Chain A
Amino acid sequence: MPMPFMPKPDMPPGALTLLILRVLQSGSLHGYAIAQRIHLLSSEVLAVEEGSLYPALQKMLLKGWVTAEWGISETSRKVRFYRLTAAGRKQLQAEISNYDRVTEAIQAILRTA
């Protein structure tokens, strides 16, 4: 039975894809670096587990939002680096504006209700 990847309970569903797209915007990274970057940039609030990172990356590869190419890691190991494609950039814009709309709406409710 297909098993959906499970984000941590505190990460809103769909946010992982958005975050991955966003951290890849500034340049290509390998899988571990993506997880690290998200972890650091969130002031160590968000932790991305392998169990959700790699399924998400595979899905994004399939959708054509990212491509993978071989590179050498800081530990001199051959590893796959992920890079944002044009379609990925478009998707990022769409997801950001979508995210903004949803958070604004939620905020509006939180303020007025």
Chain B
Amino acid sequence: MGEFLRRLRYLLFHRRFDRELENEMEFHREMAARQGRRNFGNTLRLREQSREAWGWTWIDRLLQDLRYAARILWHSPGFTITALFVLSLGIGVCVSGFTLLNVVALKLLPVRDPSSIVRLDRDAPEIHTSETPYLQFAFYRDHTKSLSAMFATMGAPGMELDQDLQPVSVDYLTANYYSELGAQPAVGRLFDSTRDASPDAPPVVVLNYLFWQRRFNADPGIVGRIIHLNKKPVTVIGVVSSATPSVEGADADVCLPMSKQPYFVEGSKALTDTSDGGAVRMWGRLATGVSAKAAEAELLTLTNELRKIYPKMIWDKQYIRSRPGGHLLMLQPEMYRVFTMIAALLLLIFIVACANLGSLMTARGVAREHEISIRIAIGAGRFRIFRQLFTESLLLAAIGAAGGLALSYAALRIASAYFGNVPPWISFAPDWRVVLFALVMTLTSAIVFGFLPALQIARQRQRKTAVRQVLIGAQIAASCILLIVSTLLVRAVHHVLYSDPGFGYEGVLSINPDLQSHGYTPVQARAYLTQLEDRLRALPGVTSVAESRIPLLGNGFTAYMTIDMDGHPVNVYPNWVDPVFFRTMEIPLLRGRNFQTGEKHVVIVSESLAKRQWPSKDALGQKFGDAKDLVIGIAGDARIKSLNDNDATEIYWAAQSENLPTMTVLVKASGPLDSLATQSKAIVESLDPKLFPYIWTLKSGFRDFTRILENCAIGVSLLGIIAALLSGVGIVGLVAYAISQRTKELAIRIALGAKPGHVLSVVLRQFMLPVAVGAILGGAATAAVSQVLRKVLFGVSNLDPFSYAGGIIVLIAIAIGAALLPARRALRVDPVRALHEE
């Protein structure tokens, strides 16, 4: 330790120590001279040797190298600007991706003690759900000792606020939710366990900060005012501060105390239901010193106790699984694939940028041949030259990474302002993880683009083109993959938008009266639905009215089963419908017959399911599934619930009476749907004032869906364009270098009468092979991995030849354009001037 401190002193006071050493050696010489001894050697060198003992010479060398590198870069601004542009873009894209991942999944939320929060899921070997019946949650909460507290949220359909047309989003929260997260109010107060936990407490509401600003102009006088949600009066008690995060992205416009749920949804059994239907998402806070495993064990014991009280509520072998809960989003294994795909696409950009810069570096090596050979001639070792060149790369990479950080921050700020729905507590400012990531990127990029060229130059092999050609090939291949994938996605979006999806969504209005939430029995539901449908059919322009258990193209759940067919898992989307459904949705019944209302033990399957399940037999008359239901009809493919899954199939049963409280009503009309929506809402509510129907047009649902796909395609296309742009910039630079190197040769050729085409081919020949090989490799690599894209490529094969050809042609066109831009200079070489130059 003492030695290290002394060493440190040398570093800090190196000027003083150096002076002392100089003084001392001077004295030595004086004395020696007196004795008539001659001195040999260079004092400077001797001093340097002595200083080596301090162990800090590497810093001196590094500073020296850095100063030299900075000077070199400063004196070639064209190269430096190009390189920094390429690097900032390449690193910036990756940093943006990582920042998003960081914000979503790595960073702990700014809540009280986030690391002790666990998210609790309900699991059994066969079933997994993120929602738990309220009674079960309440039992755990009342009996657990390993968790110091438990809180829960419950989602709800949008509600009508006063007379607003646009419904507001709603979450029910347990009264301790805010205090457990340590949330603060912007104005007023938040829920409080002593005042708002009881079902008899007066109805109160807490507003979301952004919603408060948007809807109430940030009026602090809102506290204490009474507003109406679904026509129920409720007092505003406060607004959550803008710094309060929500767990798992639950960021509703208004939040209500969970105990008051029956007040807002009359007749609701959500808090008292003893069957196994999920209702709430639950979290716990680990008591001090208790591990998540210990808490799980205790919850398992409690689950087994609870089974004795409510046998229907608990699954066989049910247990509670905990996950770290202090993040915006908990990464689930099923998300890994998506993350890997995104990471792979971003990495491609990075590869393009590095390969690009690497080839520029080797080309530059040729231009610096003179300088390097002088340095070697005056005694610089190869290692010293290599180190100098690599320092240059590191300096470039570091500046590039700083640029990338700035670029990514700016881009994310602009994007979040553009999308406008990013909660104010989310910050994209780089934290230590992002900075560390950028540092790793700096080092990686410097090694990737700087190592090989530096080695090549230090060994004075810069005229060898092999490395450069590999690097060109690599960037072309990577850009090619990005361009093909983006073309595939653009084609898929185009296909979804402009091809027949197998069903008619224009002119269909969907009405979900949500009878179940209000405690309707099947008999009551039947009576209500019959009345409602009669009234709807009487409206002008209405051509048919149908019932579907699964809500289509809009809010609502999706259910599917996965059946193993010949070793391939096939997703089958079931629905329970009435006979009018097919006509209303314009789904053709290809063969067989339709259901009768409520008919049992019969199914209608989609054409693709029939083909896959009974490839060599006639599907009609076959028995389906464990229940041995008779196939009576074959319907056209209509992937309403899985527009982007080419492999999905559908199956329909006739709706049974127990399904009736969950039915959605579909109204097909020829006139404008806006007035129909208002009329329908009035009818639903006039038949039962308790109800607040959720009404949407299938067309808007379809647009919402395609918008996601469009955004996806736009994102990937952006990456593709960036990659192509980078490759283009790189090729411009390389060709320009190639020409400047060979000006004399070209001049001689021109003087001897070479034709322009020939001159161009001399310059460009070395680029043709790597570009061609890169494009082929890129195409092949895409084809090899494109299977993973199948689920997002609706109606387009993952091997769609048009997309492959399109991507490759666009890239080659860019490459040719980029090569010709500087190549024209070769044609304008003036032989006389060029040959006189030296």
Q: Which residues of A contact B (CB under 8 A)?
A: 1-3, 5, 30-32, 35, 49-51, 54-59, 61-64, 68, 73, 75, 77-80
B31 touches A75 (CB 8 A): yes
Partner of B27 from A30, A51, A62, A68 at Cβ < 8 Å: A30
B23 touches A58 (CB 8 A): no
> Beyond A31-B28, A50-B28, A73-B27, is A62–B54 a contact (Cβ under 8 Å)?
yes
A79 touches B383 (CB 8 A): no
A54 touches B46 (CB 8 A): yes
> Beyond A32-B32, A55-B52, A64-B2, is A2–B57 a contact (Cβ under 8 Å)?
yes
A79 touches B3 (CB 8 A): no
> Beyond A2-B57, A30-B27, A73-B27, is A62–B7 a contact (Cβ under 8 Å)?
yes
Within the complex, the shortest CB–CB distance from B448 to chain A, in Å, comes to 26
Give the chain B neighbours of A80 by CB distance below 8 A.
20, 23-24
A64 touches B6 (CB 8 A): yes
Within the complex, the shortest CB–CB distance from A62 to chain B, in Å, comes to 6
B10 an interface residue at 8 Å Cβ cutoff?
A: yes
A50 touches B25 (CB 8 A): yes
Q: Give the docked Cα–Cα distance between A63 and B835 (Å).
A: 64
Partner of B54 from A5, A56, A58 at Cβ < 8 Å: A58
B49 an interface residue at 8 Å Cβ cutoff?
A: yes
Provide the B47-69 mask, 1 if CB < 8 A to any CB of A, else 0: 10111111101000000000000
Give the chain B neighbours of A59 by CB distance below 8 A.
53
Give the chain A neighbours of B226 by CB distance below 8 A.
none
Partner of A31 from B24, B52, B381 at Cβ < 8 Å: B24
> Beyond A64-B6, A79-B23, A80-B20, is A55–B28 a contact (Cβ under 8 Å)?
no
A62 touches B6 (CB 8 A): yes
Give the chain B neighbours of A73 by CB distance below 8 A.
27
Q: Give the docked Cα–Cα distance between A105 and B32 (Å).
A: 38
Partner of A64 from B3, B10, B47 at Cβ < 8 Å: B3
Within the complex, the shortest CB–CB distance from A40 to chain B, in Å, comes to 12
B27 touches A54 (CB 8 A): no
Give the chain A neighbours of B20 by CB distance below 8 A.
68, 80
B21 an interface residue at 8 Å Cβ cutoff?
A: yes
Q: Give the docked Cα–Cα distance between A90 and B57 (Å).
A: 29
* Nearest 9 A/B pairs, CB to CB: A58-B53, A54-B50, A59-B53, A32-B31, A32-B28, A55-B50, A58-B50, A79-B27, A55-B49
Within the complex, the shortest CB–CB distance from B393 to chain A, in Å, comes to 21
Q: Give the docked Cα–Cα distance between A50 and B54 (Å).
A: 17
Within B257-294, the residues touching A (CB, 8 Å) are none
Q: Give the docked Cα–Cα distance between A78 and B2 (Å).
A: 28
Q: Give the docked Cα–Cα distance between A35 and B789 (Å).
A: 79
B30 an interface residue at 8 Å Cβ cutoff?
A: yes
Within the complex, the shortest CB–CB distance from A110 to chain B, in Å, comes to 34
Give the chain A neighbours of B381 by CB distance below 8 A.
1
Name the residue of chain B whose CB is nearest to the CB of A58. Answer: B53
> Beyond A51-B41, A62-B3, A64-B2, is A79–B24 a contact (Cβ under 8 Å)?
yes
The interface on chain B, measured as residues whose beta carbon lies within 8 A of the other chain's beta carbons, has a size of 30
Within the complex, the shortest CB–CB distance from A59 to chain B, in Å, comes to 4
Give the chain B neighbours of A51 by CB distance below 8 A.
41, 46, 49
A2 touches B52 (CB 8 A): yes
Name the residue of chain A whose CB is nearest to the CB of B28. Answer: A32
B27 touches A31 (CB 8 A): yes
Q: Give the docked Cα–Cα distance between A3 and B31 (Å).
A: 26
Within the complex, the shortest CB–CB distance from B65 to chain A, in Å, comes to 14
A3 touches B49 (CB 8 A): yes
Name the residue of chain B whose CB is nearest to the CB of A80. Answer: B24
Q: Give the docked Cα–Cα distance between A1 and B27 (Å).
A: 28
Q: Give the docked Cα–Cα distance between A50 and B30 (Å).
A: 12
Give the chain A neighbours of B30 by CB distance below 8 A.
75, 77
Q: Give the docked Cα–Cα distance between A35 and B383 (Å).
A: 36
Give the chain B neighbours of A63 by CB distance below 8 A.
3
Q: Pick 12 A–B contacts, CB within 8 A, sort by A.
A: A30-B27, A32-B27, A51-B46, A51-B49, A58-B50, A61-B6, A64-B3, A68-B20, A75-B31, A77-B30, A79-B27, A80-B24
Q: Give the docked Cα–Cα distance between A40 and B54 (Å).
A: 30
Within the complex, the shortest CB–CB distance from A113 to chain B, in Å, comes to 38
Name the residue of chain A whose CB is nearest to the CB of B27. Answer: A79
A5 touches B49 (CB 8 A): yes
Name the residue of chain B whose CB is nearest to the CB of A77. Answer: B27
Name the residue of chain B whose CB is nearest to the CB of A70. Answer: B20
B2 touches A1 (CB 8 A): no
Give the chain A neighbours of B52 by CB distance below 8 A.
2-3, 55
Q: Give the docked Cα–Cα distance between A3 and B47 (Å).
A: 12
Partner of A58 from B28, B39, B51 at Cβ < 8 Å: B51
Give the chain A neighbours of B54 by CB distance below 8 A.
58, 62
B25 touches A54 (CB 8 A): yes
Name the residue of chain B whose CB is nearest to the CB of A47. Answer: B37
> Beyond A32-B27, A54-B24, A55-B53, is A1–B3 a contact (Cβ under 8 Å)?
no
Give the chain A neighbours of B55 by CB distance below 8 A.
62
Name the residue of chain B whose CB is nearest to the CB of A2. Answer: B52
Within the complex, the shortest CB–CB distance from A91 to chain B, in Å, comes to 13
Name the residue of chain A whose CB is nearest to the CB of B384. Answer: A1
Q: Give the docked Cα–Cα distance between A55 and B21 (Å).
A: 10
Q: Give the docked Cα–Cα distance between A98 and B757 (Å).
A: 80
Give the chain A neighbours of B57 by CB distance below 8 A.
2
Q: Give the docked Cα–Cα distance between A57 and B54 (Å).
A: 11
Q: Give the docked Cα–Cα distance between A61 and B55 (Å).
A: 12
B383 touches A1 (CB 8 A): yes
| Residue of B29, B31, B57 most packed against chain A (CB within 10 A) | B31
Give the chain A neighbours of B27 by CB distance below 8 A.
30-32, 73, 77, 79
Name the residue of chain B whose CB is nearest to the CB of A54. Answer: B50
Within B1-48, the residues touching A (CB, 8 Å) are 2-3, 6-7, 10, 20-21, 23-25, 27-32, 39, 41, 46-47
Q: Give the docked Cα–Cα distance between A67 and B822 (Å).
A: 66
